[in-house]
Structure 1
Amino acid sequence: MSYIIKNLRTKQWIMIFIGIIASIVYVVVAGFVVLIIQNFVDLISGIKQPDWLVPDPNDKLRATINLTALSLGLIIISFFIKVIGRIILLKQTLLAANLLKNQLYYKINLISLEQFYQYQRSTLINRLNVDYFKLEKAAINVLVYMIENIFEVFVYIGFSIALSGYLSLIYLFFIPLVIFLIIHGSKKTKDHYKKSYQSLDNLYQVIRENIIGVKVVRTFNLEDFQSLRYDNHHKQWLKSVLRADLILAMMWKLIFLAINIFITLTLVTAGYLNKTNSSLTPGVVIAFLNYLTYTSYVVIGICDYVLNILKTRSAKQRIKEILDLKEEVELNTAIFDEIVGKISINGLDFKYEQNNFNVLNKINLTIKPKDNIGIIGSIGSGKSTLCKLIAKINNAPDNMIMIDNVDINKYQTRHIRQSVAIDFQKKQLFSGTIKLNILKANSDADQDRINQVLDHSCANEFINNLDDKLEHNLIEFANNLSGGQKARICIARTLIRDSKIMIFDDSLSALDNITAKKVLDKILANYQNRTKIFVSQQIRTIKDLDKIIVLDQGNVVGYDTHKNLLTSCEVYKQIYDSQKRIGDEV
């Protein structure tokens, strides 16, 4: 909640101050309405008629009409004041909360991938939604309701003291008792709510896996296993929540019991004091009971808000963890010439933070501008990792990767993103039209350029058969397209950037042999002045390229032409032979 309040600007603080003033005015006016009720009771009972109502003390009808008109007028005025104050406070609070959500969203976009991988996706989604909305609700409770309730407590106690100082002594026992119950209850529930958040994260993770991996779950008959996982995490969450809610329920019962006891004590005390104090009329007692009752419910409201705030402590800590993540600070301000496309890798060692072993070992390579390079190797040999390092998706150690003889880390990240385009192994498309997905790589591209890349990727072969063509809507993950169709759209998206270095990570594996050959030939023919890297599992896809990098367990075991590798690289020869044996004519 404090993160939301920190986002308030000077103008918003001024508006909040105006809203708080409106709330104070409402509380004072509402307090006067109760005093009018006291005069009503005394007037109707015939005990006392207020002198200020009518000149004639015997004119009860006129006094009643005046009291009614005054009370209705004050009620209407207080209503409009309250509405105006609530609108002002609610609007400013939501504006500040929206700034926090924007900060969280931009923070996740700015952190490094290493930090991103530290958290499960379900956890990040949970923090951006569930935890954020809890903080937003807490901020609304404090700024819109709780501040008003606090003023109500002081105003009602003030009016109570004005009516009867003796009866008001009850507050000295009532309020501390309620505060004690709140503090004691909050301490008991803190750990349970923290456990419930952890269980909820695990629960969302299982749900997410079931949704994303629904085909795998059904194919291998994992429904019972996944249901068991869900039940286990749900039971853990339910156990923590029930324990916390049971403590809160007991606390509320004790608070309501205290209210009833103190109301009874007020009546008994008033009856006793009435013997010696003639000013303690029935109207005064009823007005005091009204103030006591209002104060009781206001204190209950404050208790509820305080408890909600205490519940959000875990949410606040989880939000803080995201906001405290260090961004990828752009320290480089040097501007270099346009990248030509030369890549030099000098003794590159690399491992992921969560691993204690190297994924790549002592990589030494030189790729000339405009070269067409293939990369092949067994699964887990480091092919995709090498591509991500060249594209600066993952950060390489200093002076290990050079682009045009300049350390890649000295380039501005934006410069590298413009100069190195990569089609990832996992094909990721967004919900929306095909055209919108392609333009995400280059929003300035015109229709002619779009048509070019669709032709170069052979995506036009199926897009032209769609009723709405480029305006065809893709559902989440483009699950309404085949693997080959998604692959061709992703290739088109990479090509439309027209970067000096293009990387295609296993981009052709989802295509049939004829289409893959057509796409490769078109890319080689139309982008001759670009450095191109093709990762493939099949030799036939890359055998005609200028050179082929052979990776094995993170090591470069071969870097030469197809013909030379057949005689000089045992790993490459084994791959070649294995693909021939399974019936492929390499």
Structure 2
Amino acid sequence: MALLINKMKNHLGAVVGSILMTIIIVATQLWQPKLLQQVLNAVMADDKDKIVKVGITLLVVAGVGLIAGVINTILAAKVAQEVSADVREEGFKKIQTFSFSNIEKFSTGNIVVRLTNDITQIQTLVMLTLQTLLRIPILFVGSFILAMMTLPQLWWVIIVLVVLVFVTVMAVFGMMGKHFGMIQTYLDRVNGIAKENLAGMRVVKSFVQEANETKRFSKVSEKLTKHTISVGNLFAVMIPTFTVISSLAIVVAIYFSADLATKDLNVIGAVASFMNYLMQIMMSIIIGGMMTMMASRAMVSLARIKEILDTEPDITFNPEATNMITKGDVSFKNVTFQYEGDDRPSLKHISFDVTHGQSIGIVGATGAGKSTLAQLIARLYDPTEGSIEIDQIDLKAANKENLRESVALVLQKAMLFSGTIADNIRHGKRDASEQEMEAASSIAQAKEFIDRQVDRYGSLVEERGANFSGGQKQRLSISRGVIGYPKILILDDSTSALDAKSEKLVKEALNKELKGTTTFIIAQKISSVVQADKILVLDEGELVATGTHQELVASSEVYREIYETQKGKEVL
């Protein structure tokens, strides 16, 4: 709750106003039965003036309660919306600081549920707190005391009612608690499966897996439905039980007050007031229990959000670091890296040095550790052992902004964001002019299809770049990578979807326009790296050979096997 209290402090005026309105609402609710008692006594005494006077007071009190209720709802809704927006923004901002390993720990689907469904639960909690949870204890205590004062002879009826309702509430809500936690868990899974299925729809349809995917989704959905129905069934049993208890309490109160009424007619009005207080006591316990149960579900969501906010990024930067990358020399010193949960390292004792401006090819079989090595250069992960330096600066001591500007990573799987072409390219340089975008897209050979678009750089990009082909998306990604003219450019098999002619033109443009840039080219095809100044050969996470194409063909069995398998001689 400390998180919510801190957030609510930012909206103190509305919170205080809502609490004041709550106090007014409770006061009017407690006052009305007493006024009703006075009206009944006046009717029996045939005192018309008092009937009118008390009747008007009763209407005014009811009106004040109504107005206070409206204001309370408005203020509570305002605070709930603003607090949930604050938490959502803080959560999203925190996620932006996460490393890849942090994201992998939670999973994308899990994070989405936390920022949507869990935030909604927190919003409900704030609304309930200001509207109901603060009112219930005051109403319960006030009704209990006034009921005792109204008909002290029937004190035991009140105690029996409270005990029966309280025991029932605790029993039912105790059974509900376990279901709420499972509901959130299965919501995560349903969201994850749906997201995964939609992202891989082409694969699903290509392999005719619709039935299996439906079965997989239905299995989790049925478990979610089971727990939701269980909660509904418990509510269905609870409401009639409370109705029976309240009806019995009223019957008992009327029965035992009959003798009192024969001696004093004013007891009739007192009985009416007493029954109102009984109903308020019962309803405060019932509503309080229901709200507490809903609040407990929200507390689960609050804990899930707090887990995100309390998670420390695995990779942190020193905000005061002044070390600046100026050239692009890269040095790996006995680097070993192992993913969390893996039983063996992905990279083992890697050491090499690269001079700025060089073109470095990285080849190896699938799973050799090529992409992992690239991500270490960009400091998306930190090495488990050893160190990585750029311009003799340990990456752990580098300035974050300078590092991100100096190292550009273009992935094989091109990721485009919904918006415009310009928006996507400017991810590489936020203040890029149209001339700079044209220069970058020319290097990436993207200009020719961009110019065919009606709005050119203002053309819309659909979610995940669905309105562009694989090759077009890769060229836009390369444009985004080169627009800032980085000191180090990493192309992680990022020309795999390009035809041979386009790939050749991209390489020629890179060599011409980014002469001073250190370029790492990760490729499956030997033809993509034969012209590199140096080629690194990885095999099962180890650096087994280093040299030029000619040197490696002559000296490295692993490289020669890859080369001959691809019929490299014919390609050249």
TM range (shorter): over 0.9
Please tell me whether the aligned partners of residues 381 and 553 of structure 1 are also in contact (alpha carbons under 8 angstroms).
yes
The one-letter code matched in structure 1 to 2:515 is Q
Aligned to 2:7: 7
Aligned to 1:392: 379
The one-letter code matched in structure 2 to 1:25 is I
User: In structure 1, which of residues 172, 177, 182 is the aligned counterpart of residue 164 of structure 2?
Assistant: 177
> How far did residue 469 of structure 1 move?
1.5
d(CA) in 2 for partners of 1:584, 1:315: 61
* Mapped pair 1:74 → 2:61: yes
Aligned to 2:482: 495
The one-letter code matched in structure 2 to 1:474 is V
**Residues 32-74 of structure 1: per-residue CA shift (max 9 Å, x gap):** 3333333333334x3353xxxxxxxxxx2x5444344333333
- Structure 1 segment 342-361 matched on structure 2, within 5 A: 342-361=329-348
Aligned to 2:302: 316
With normalisation by structure 1, the TM-score equals: 0.92
Aligned to 1:53: none
> How far did residue 485 of structure 1 move?
0.5
d(CA) in 2 for partners of 1:334, 1:436: 30
Please tell me whether the aligned partners of residues 424 and 504 of structure 1 are also in contact (alpha carbons under 8 angstroms).
yes
* Mapped pair 1:404 → 2:391: yes
- Structure 1 segment 168-317 matched on structure 2, within 5 A: 168-280=155-267, 282-317=268-303
Question: Which 10-residue stretch deviates more, 152-161 or 569-578?
Answer: 152-161
Aligned to 1:135: 122
Query: 1:179/1:2 Cα in 2 relative to 1: closer, same or farther (>3 Å)?
Result: farther
- Structure 1 segment 98-137 matched on structure 2, within 5 A: 98-137=85-124
Please tell me whether the aligned partners of residues 318 and 398 of structure 2 are also in contact (alpha carbons under 8 angstroms).
no
> How far did residue 12 of structure 1 move?
3.2
User: In structure 1, which of residues 310, 326, 330 is the aligned counterpart of residue 312 of structure 2?
Assistant: 326
> How far did residue 584 of structure 1 move?
5.8
Please tell me whether the aligned partners of residues 549 and 556 of structure 1 are also in contact (alpha carbons under 8 angstroms).
yes
d(CA) in 2 for partners of 1:73, 1:279: 24
- Structure 1 segment 406-425 matched on structure 2, within 5 A: 406-425=393-412
Please tell me whether the aligned partners of residues 370 and 528 of structure 1 are also in contact (alpha carbons under 8 angstroms).
yes
Aligned to 2:16: 17
Question: Which 10-residue stretch deviates more, 533-542 or 269-278?
Answer: 269-278
The one-letter code matched in structure 2 to 1:585 is V
- Structure 1 segment 440-519 matched on structure 2, within 5 A: 440-519=427-506
The one-letter code matched in structure 2 to 1:284 is A
Question: Which 10-residue stretch deviates more, 534-543 or 434-443?
Answer: 534-543
The one-letter code matched in structure 2 to 1:4 is L
Aligned to 1:372: 359
- Structure 1 segment 525-540 matched on structure 2, within 5 A: 525-540=512-527
Please tell me whether the aligned partners of residues 26 and 138 of structure 2 are also in contact (alpha carbons under 8 angstroms).
yes
d(CA) in 2 for partners of 1:320, 1:473: 36
Secondary structure at the counterpart of residue 509 of structure 1: coil
Please tell me whether the aligned partners of residues 331 and 354 of structure 2 are also in contact (alpha carbons under 8 angstroms).
yes
d(CA) in 1 for partners of 2:72, 2:218: 46
Question: Which 10-residue stretch deviates more, 326-335 or 431-440?
Answer: 326-335
d(CA) in 1 for partners of 2:178, 2:21: 39
> How far did residue 14 of structure 1 move?
5.1
> How far did residue 467 of structure 1 move?
1.4
Query: 1:584/1:214 Cα in 2 relative to 1: closer, same or farther (>3 Å)?
Result: farther
d(CA) in 2 for partners of 1:508, 1:533: 13
Question: Which 10-residue stretch deviates more, 558-567 or 332-341?
Answer: 332-341
**Residues 511-530 of structure 1: per-residue CA shift (max 9 Å, x gap):** 11111111111111001111
d(CA) in 1 for partners of 2:29, 2:345: 72
Aligned to 2:45: 47
d(CA) in 2 for partners of 1:14, 1:210: 46
- Structure 2 unaligned residues grouped into runs of 5+: none
Secondary structure at the counterpart of residue 35 of structure 2: helix
d(CA) in 1 for partners of 2:22, 2:311: 39
> How large is the RMSD of aligned CA atoms in angstroms?
2.2
d(CA) in 2 for partners of 1:547, 1:559: 7
Identity %: 25
d(CA) in 2 for partners of 1:63, 1:184: 47
**Residues 545-577 of structure 1: per-residue CA shift (max 9 Å, x gap):** 212222222122222112222211222222222
The one-letter code matched in structure 1 to 2:456 is K
Give the number of equivalent residue pairs. Answer: 571
Please tell me whether the aligned partners of residues 399 and 408 of structure 1 are also in contact (alpha carbons under 8 angstroms).
no
Query: 1:347/1:491 Cα in 2 relative to 1: closer, same or farther (>3 Å)?
Result: same
d(CA) in 1 for partners of 2:2, 2:118: 14
**Residues 244-302 of structure 1: per-residue CA shift (max 9 Å, x gap):** 4333432333222211111111111221322344431x332223222322333333221
d(CA) in 1 for partners of 2:545, 2:452: 43
Please tell me whether the aligned partners of residues 327 and 391 of structure 2 are also in contact (alpha carbons under 8 angstroms).
yes
User: In structure 2, which of residues 154, 173, 179 is the aligned counterpart of residue 167 of structure 1?
Assistant: 154
d(CA) in 1 for partners of 2:486, 2:153: 84
**Residues 370-394 of structure 1: per-residue CA shift (max 9 Å, x gap):** 1111112221111110000001011
Please tell me whether the aligned partners of residues 157 and 168 of structure 1 are also in contact (alpha carbons under 8 angstroms).
no
- Structure 1 unaligned residues grouped into runs of 5+: 50-59
Secondary structure at the counterpart of residue 345 of structure 1: strand
Aligned to 2:350: 363
d(CA) in 2 for partners of 1:331, 1:133: 35
The one-letter code matched in structure 2 to 1:504 is L
Secondary structure at the counterpart of residue 511 of structure 1: coil
Please tell me whether the aligned partners of residues 4 and 97 of structure 1 are also in contact (alpha carbons under 8 angstroms).
no
Query: 1:89/1:247 Cα in 2 relative to 1: closer, same or farther (>3 Å)?
Result: closer
Secondary structure at the counterpart of residue 442 of structure 2: helix
d(CA) in 1 for partners of 2:55, 2:265: 26
The one-letter code matched in structure 2 to 1:323 is L
Please tell me whether the aligned partners of residues 334 and 386 of structure 2 are also in contact (alpha carbons under 8 angstroms).
no
> How far did residue 102 of structure 1 move?
2.3
**Residues 498-549 of structure 1: per-residue CA shift (max 9 Å, x gap):** 2111111111111111111111111110011111111112122221221222
**Residues 64-109 of structure 1: per-residue CA shift (max 9 Å, x gap):** 4434433333332332223223323332343233222223222222
> How far did residue 128 of structure 1 move?
1.7
Query: 1:532/1:488 Cα in 2 relative to 1: closer, same or farther (>3 Å)?
Result: same
The one-letter code matched in structure 2 to 1:316 is L
d(CA) in 1 for partners of 2:178, 2:293: 13
Aligned to 1:564: 551
d(CA) in 2 for partners of 1:323, 1:338: 31
* Mapped pair 1:523 → 2:510: yes
The one-letter code matched in structure 2 to 1:79 is L
Please tell me whether the aligned partners of residues 336 and 386 of structure 2 are also in contact (alpha carbons under 8 angstroms).
no
